[in-house]
Chains A and B, each alone.
Chain A
């Protein structure tokens, strides 16, 4: 089987042992069965068991293994090894803008705090009917491109507005979720949801830089959803 040696530069920091972070140079042999970056990282861990990273489903639906790969956020399990050129090391860093717990593992508290702040659940105060609440296929279609978010944080941690104000700006992932409920015909809290976002930071710090769209591993478009919320704000004001 043809093997290939991959060179890595990996951000390392263990607060238990290290004074400060450093970049580790390390190489690993991969073969034809190793298709994705995560496959190579699992082999790396067999060489050096102290490299810490999160991973679970290895198929791009759980959102665990978001990293900064050669300067760009993405999921290790979806990054093709074949796309990395020979002779140049693959540079792996933790997602930018969040505190590092260890190596490639970041503290996502702030990210989830913002997600929770938009009340990410259906609000409908009518007594629940015996059967399902009806929704037309067209109305259901409005949720496509919204509900598929995997909360990997690639988007929010590539957004300069989120870097500057992670405590005040909801960020693209949270805003996408906010619009997912606004767009749901079964949800009755549209006004309350818009009120919740009406402030100089929570929504309006989005300056349509569109890094979020660029990096989303699921091909979603938070900027478009944010634009729709902004439109609704404007319409409601006049």
Chain B
């Protein structure tokens, strides 16, 4: 079929209606700007809904806390790869953003004095790393659900215009590189539209589906990240993927770290609380990369559980049943549904599972997309913003702390929205004209897919990608596997370029949608493998066999050569690097040191 493109004009277009997109939309709608929010799924189906344990803010409701301590923990958690200006910005804004959410109606759990309930979480400590602190603001173990619904509801109140079940396809940029909107497909009709806008905000979430075993929803296909890469934007720090320690073995479904925050313990086949050996101070509440590696080490050394000794146990049977049913009701339900276990009586089988993309579209703390140019390594791409998991601000660096993702999407969703509002106030009335070839990339992609004969099966190609990523770029990384992995993933990329679908219908064609999603996933997968192969050190979630712990390089980290952000360009599959911002906004630099918990 041939495609006509209908052009629609808006002040701003937001792609994605998860936490970051909804938070940005509130800013733009409240400012009275004509805004279109495009979303592949009804907003409350977005993956923010699956977040469980909480959102970080140093409210200090249960004990003394300070944004500076939170900042220290986040820099340390990032293994010093996070940009300290953005981290300070996020930690300082946390209280304001969480209080706003409460005012929107979010049903946080409460303390006896009526304030928001806070629980401990991995890597969050008081007084610059001393001992765990209660910083995670929670609504039972359904914080993401409560948050996403509260923000959707706020958008209903401020009359945000949603385009539900519309999939963004490609970015429109002119000759000067300015971003002028996106092309998108209305899924119900298959029709193609262009959203011509002065500001384009990407809030499309992560791409956890590049891995075979993932806590992520089916929709987490890195659409914004893939689109940006195809439009010439480099991707930052894509080698850093978080493997969450506690995915349900076999099913991959997330079990929140809040379980350990409430007192849950990880045990090996001997019943031993093994985290005491790996993190004597924080124990089960060490940072996620540390816990995941400890678990894999236990399994690899034969102390796993079950007939194949391939998982460990998360034990909460010692907790009072009332605590479990009050604070962790969703976990009780998930354990029953996906592990067939009554967590009140039996431990839950868990394994590290791909969970979060630390890298993404490079931005500054104002949500503006930045790329290296002639004048600086962070030149603003006019008209283009990104926030949430698809973006790299960079606050998570080489490893994200639990509860900082919900905070990230609040702070930077708001910040991107505010910056866009400012830009629109000062921009000329008329839209910049669209270039003549504005829809060429989209139409070429769709026509190729419509007419492909004897091509590759989408389902099988995606599986091949996921297995390749799982084997070659997992919790522990090996130089030879990474090298092979690059060749293998480039071979999969060739298949992605010739995928074929049997379903040619115009109406809600989910086969076409999955093929278009795979176009985005593969960009992320290639970026990940190539960036990981090149980074010859261990840092945060990226740990290589050929960069072990030595006196010169504690934990295998090499600050002399690798204290820098990776930038991967699709064009030529090329790598570049830029320096880490070590100078915060108002406080002193948190100095480099060995990371231990």
B145 in contact with A121 (CB, 8 Å): no
Whether B334 is near chain A, meaning CB under 8 Å from some CB there, is yes
Assess A121 versus B157: contact at CB under 8 Å? Given A60-B337, A61-B50, A137-B111: yes
Among the stretches B79-87, B146-154, B443-451, B487-495, the one at the interface with A is B146-154
Assess A50 versus B112: contact at CB under 8 Å? Given A57-B47, A184-B107: no
Among residues 170 to 192 in chain A, which have CB atoms less than 8 Å away from a CB atom of chain B?
A: 181, 184, 186-187
Q: Per-position contact with A for B78-119: 1 when CB-CB < 8 Å, else 0?
A: 000000000000000000000100111101111111111000
Whether B297 is near chain A, meaning CB under 8 Å from some CB there, is no
Q: Per-position contact with A for B230-265: 1 when CB-CB < 8 Å, else 0?
A: 000000000000000000001101100000000000
Q: Which of A14, A57, A60, A137 has the most CB of B within 10 A?
A: A57
Contact of A105 among B107, B334, B508 (CB under 8 A): B508
Closest to A131 in B: B99
B337 in contact with A140 (CB, 8 Å): no
Closest to A107 in B: B188
A136 in contact with B146 (CB, 8 Å): no
Question: A49–B139 Cα gap in the complex (Å)?
Answer: 39
Question: A36–B168 Cα gap in the complex (Å)?
Answer: 30
Among residues 47 to 90 in chain A, which have CB atoms less than 8 Å away from a CB atom of chain B?
A: 48-50, 52-64, 78
Among residues 127 to 176 in chain A, which have CB atoms less than 8 Å away from a CB atom of chain B?
A: 128, 130-137, 139-140, 143, 147-148, 150-151
What interface size band does chain A fall in? 35 or more
Among the stretches B345-353, B376-384, B390-398, B499-507, the one at the interface with A is B499-507
Q: Per-position contact with B for A1-37: 1 when CB-CB < 8 Å, else 0?
A: 0000000000000111100000000000000010100
Closest to A50 in B: B503
Assess A184 versus B114: contact at CB under 8 Å? Given A50-B511, A62-B45: no
Give the chain B neighbours of A224 by CB distance below 8 A.
Answer: none
Give the chain B neighbours of A57 by CB distance below 8 A.
Answer: 45, 47, 49-50, 217-218
A62 in contact with B508 (CB, 8 Å): no
A101 in contact with B47 (CB, 8 Å): no
Give the chain B neighbours of A56 by CB distance below 8 A.
Answer: 41, 45, 47, 217-219
B114 in contact with A135 (CB, 8 Å): yes
* Chain B contact residue count (CB 8 A cutoff): 61
Among residues 332 to 352 in chain B, which have CB atoms less than 8 Å away from a CB atom of chain A?
A: 333-334, 337-338
Whether B510 is near chain A, meaning CB under 8 Å from some CB there, is yes
Measured between C-beta atoms, what is the minimum distance from B481 to chain A in Å? 24
Whether A45 is near chain B, meaning CB under 8 Å from some CB there, is yes
Q: Which of B219, B250, B334 has the most CB of A within 10 A?
A: B219
Give the chain B neighbours of A45 by CB distance below 8 A.
Answer: 459, 510-511
Contact of B104 among A49, A59, A122, A135 (CB under 8 A): A122
Question: A49–B518 Cα gap in the complex (Å)?
Answer: 15
Contact of B459 among A46, A62, A64 (CB under 8 A): A46
Give the chain B neighbours of A64 by CB distance below 8 A.
Answer: 41-42, 45
Contact of A16 among B46, B47, B149, B505 (CB under 8 A): B505
A14 in contact with B108 (CB, 8 Å): no
Give the chain A neighbours of B219 by CB distance below 8 A.
Answer: 56
Whether B531 is near chain A, meaning CB under 8 Å from some CB there, is no
Whether A116 is near chain B, meaning CB under 8 Å from some CB there, is yes
Contact of B508 among A52, A121, A128 (CB under 8 A): A52
B44 in contact with A35 (CB, 8 Å): no
Whether B290 is near chain A, meaning CB under 8 Å from some CB there, is no
Q: Per-position contact with A for B496-526: 1 when CB-CB < 8 Å, else 0?
A: 0000011101111111001000000000000
Give the chain A neighbours of B475 by CB distance below 8 A.
Answer: none
Question: A112–B165 Cα gap in the complex (Å)?
Answer: 14
Assess A128 versus B111: contact at CB under 8 Å? Given A33-B250, A57-B45, A63-B44: no
Whether B7 is near chain A, meaning CB under 8 Å from some CB there, is no
Question: A130–B95 Cα gap in the complex (Å)?
Answer: 10
Measured between C-beta atoms, what is the minimum distance from A119 to chain B in Å? 8
Q: Which of A49, A108, A124, A133 has the most CB of B within 10 A?
A: A49
Measured between C-beta atoms, what is the minimum distance from B544 to chain A in Å? 30
- Known A-B contacts: A60-B333, A136-B110. Give 6 more (CB < 8 A): A49-B501, A56-B217, A57-B45, A57-B47, A62-B49, A148-B142
A residues whose Cβ falls under 8 Å from a Cβ of B: 14-17, 33, 35, 45-46, 48-50, 52-64, 78, 101-103, 105, 108, 112, 116, 119-122, 124, 128, 130-137, 139-140, 143, 147-148, 150-151, 181, 184, 186-187
A-B contact pairs, 16 of them (CB 8 A): A46-B460, A49-B514, A55-B218, A56-B41, A58-B217, A59-B254, A60-B337, A62-B45, A63-B44, A101-B508, A132-B99, A132-B115, A134-B115, A137-B110, A147-B149, A150-B49
Closest 6 CB pairs of A and B: A122-B105, A134-B114, A50-B503, A49-B511, A121-B153, A46-B459
